[in-house]
Amino acid sequence: MDQGMKDILENLRIAGIVMLLSLSAVAIVIDSRTPITVDPSANQPVIAPLEGTTLGRARFRASNCASCHGEGGQGGVVNPNYISNTIPALDSLADRMMLYEPEDAEMAISILTSGVQPTDQPFRTYPRFMAQLESVRDTIRTGRTAGRLDPDGETPVNMPAWGSNLDSREIDAIIAYLISLYEWDA
């Protein structure tokens, strides 16, 4: 085989790899933001927007939150020189946001996913929930520096800022998803 033919085959191989990588990237974007279903009558893909906790779960995964906080928000990833030793768990966020009853959590999820603020106080701890909500939103938007166990030791993993990557609807959807992870006592 002459050099010209080898060059052509190499270029085809590279083009094939680039095409596969491009298709993978498109599939990741579609998977993380929008589910695709097939309309049986038309045998065509139908793209439906994600909403609510489904959107939150997709953005949690697409933003790679699970690499630190765990797939189900369980935390426990070691964070050297961090005052708590591990990345915080998020599956108990409902409790930390003062949602002590499943009905309160359901109402909070509804508020977060609908974008509609109630005109009254929908549950007893609502004012405290709202204060915690602003704190959690701010942490996601602007990040947070992890406290060091040893001031002279290595830098622990910090919470990155996501405000330029996630809009307010997506941030609220992630929070709703995390609230939904809480396991209520039977």
- What are the domain boundaries of the chain? 3-47, 52-180
Pairing of strands 36-39, 44-47: antiparallel
pLDDT tens digits along 122-174: 999 999 999 999 999 999 999 999 999 999 999 999 999 999 999 999 999 99
Map residue 185 onto helix, strand or coil.
coil
Per CATH, the architecture of 52-180 is what? Orthogonal Bundle (1.10)
Determine the pLDDT at residue 3: 76
pLDDT at 25 over 80: no
158: amino acid identity, one letter: N
Enumerate residues 6+ apart whose C-beta is below 8 A from 41: none
Q: What is the mean pLDDT of the chain?
A: 83
- What mean pLDDT do residues 69-78 have? 90
| Integer Rg of the chain from CA | 22
Map residue 177 onto helix, strand or coil.
helix
Prediction pTM value: 0.73
Cα dihedral sign for 92, 169, 164, 56?
A: positive
Region for residue 154 given its phi and psi (left: phi exceeds 0; alpha: psi -120 to 50; beta: otherwise): beta
Determine the pLDDT at residue 115: 85
CA 24/CA 34 separation, integer angstroms:
15
